[in-house]
């Protein structure tokens, strides 16, 4: 079984919006925006929408360690959101 299947992220979409990806992996949309803004997570503009390709999302998810000791924040380990990114 693949790593993504183990994390219950099996999906047949080819891309996600920021809010969809955030909800799917249990982080805030602001955290996803920060990852995009910093160049860690590739994303593309399609009109007024920001789109994350499924392959890019999967590669990013697999590459990010999850911190089980920090259950309150629901954010991925190693990335701090200072709140300075506007929605």
3-47 pLDDT, tens digit each? 554 555 556 789 999 999 999 999 999 999 999 999 999 999 999
CATH number of 3-63: 1.10.1660
pTM (two decimals): 0.63
Confidence of residue 75 (pLDDT cuts 50, 70, 90): low
pLDDT at 2 over 80: no
- Residue 35, judged by CB atoms within 10 A of its CB (0-12, 13-18, 19+), counts as buried
Residue 52 burial (CB count, 10 A): 21
For residue 45, the surrounding DSSP H or E stretch is strand 44-46
């Amino acid at each position: 079984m693949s790593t993504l299947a183990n994390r219950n992220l099996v999906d047949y979409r080819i891309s996600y919006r920021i809010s969809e990806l955030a909800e799917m992996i249990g982080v805030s949309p602001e955290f996803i925006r920060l990852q995009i803004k910093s160049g860690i997570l590739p994303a593309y503009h399609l009109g007024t929408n920001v789109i994350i390709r499924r392959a890019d999302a999967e590669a990013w998810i697999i590459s990010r360690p999850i911190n089980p000791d920090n259950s309150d924040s629901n954010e991925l380990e190693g990335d701090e959101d200072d709140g300075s990114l506007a929605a």
